[in-house]
Amino acid sequence: MRLTDTVKGILANYGSDNPGTKANLARMLMTGRLAGTGKMIILPVDQGLEHSPARSFSVNPAGYDPLYHHQLAIDAGLNAYAAPLGALECSADAFPGEIPLILKVNHSTSVYRNNEAPDQAVFATVGDAVRLGCSAIGFTIYPSSDQQFAMYEEIAEMCREAKAVGLPTVIWSYPRGGNLSKAGETAVDIDGYAAYIAATCGAHIIKVKLPSDHIEQPEGKKAFEAGNIDISTQAARVKEIMRSALGGRRIVIFSGGAAKGADAVLDDARAIRDGGGNGLIIGRNSFQRPYDDAMALLGGLIDIFLGKVQ
């Protein structure tokens, strides 16, 4: 595997990491149809645990089988496949080495009742990720939750443990809970803050939602106005999120969000590309479609990041 100059440039931003961690980052960046471009598309399938299997898979019953998702990620030429412990224990041995794996180590459920203090439980360990041949671990934090500081302490410790054995960390940074409004969960000032918090926790790859043009905090509004920060388009807002991730020195990928039409998903990808984002992590908008439709959509997304289509 010969690294491209683009990938070498990205890895140079992780100078404090050991060769094992950088090798695993390189493996993800050099896999699939986007190999070597510095762009990534990852398939995450943790929704069965987060929302319930019926809500996640009944629309496309093939999705009840974890091997279906693993195969879909390979067939589509994606960079990595992310899933919980049980799913990877079912599928890892069926596709050894065919695509980088990300073990999602913490999760919540739809029957947890505390909206002000959303939290996640740790289901898996760094040792599980090593045992399953994973290339990274994944961890969710909820900036603004009344449980946020405990979550930061958890991931800081787990991130150190992962780095020690050569595994990168992907942080899902989703503001919610506490005094944050619903609109504030995707506000551009809060989204950038979430990216910065994840980077500060030690993330190698940061997953955030696409930001809206809403500004949640009054002091944030003053800062955006004083700095003449452009948030007029989705691409401009993506650019601001990238800048918030340590000046663009961390990989940032954006969530595909709730189920939507194919045209809307493709428009999101264009905005991410044009704003300098590193890519997408797209779950429900791919695996809830029939296989052929999912393959067509994922292929279209890849073509956008390759610059084959506008």
Each residue's pLDDT tens digit, 119-153: 999 999 999 999 999 999 999 999 999 999 999 99
The total number of structural domains in the chain stands at: 1
What pLDDT score was predicted for residue 156?
96
221 included as an active-site residue: no
* 213: in domain: yes
| Residue 48, pLDDT score | 72
Tell me the C-alpha distance between 250 and 40, whole Å. Answer: 13
pLDDT (tens digit per residue) in 65-103: 999 999 999 999 999 999 999 999 999 999 999 999 999
User: Of 163, 207, 209, 239, which is the active-site residue?
Assistant: 207
Burial class (CB in 10 A: 0-12, 13-18, 19+), 222: exposed
In a domain, 112, yes or no: yes
60 inside domain: yes
Place 50 in a pLDDT band, splitting at 50, 70 and 90: confident
Q: Residue 276: which pLDDT band, with cuts at 50, 70 and 90?
A: very high
| 207-256 pLDDT, tens digit each | 999 999 999 999 999 999 999 999 999 999 999 999 999 999 999 999 98
User: In whole angstroms, what is the distance from residue 177 CA to residue 174 CA?
Assistant: 10
Range of the domain at 51: 5-305
Whole-structure pTM value: 0.96
In a domain, 16, yes or no: yes
Note the pLDDT tens digit of each residue in 6-35.
999 999 999 999 999 999 999 999 999 999
Q: Is 197 exposed, middle or buried (0-12, 13-18, 19+ CB in 10 A)?
A: buried
Is 144 a member of any domain?
yes
User: What CATH number does residue 268 fall under?
Assistant: 3.20.20.70
Instruction: Tell me, yes or no, whether 310 lies in a domain.
Output: no
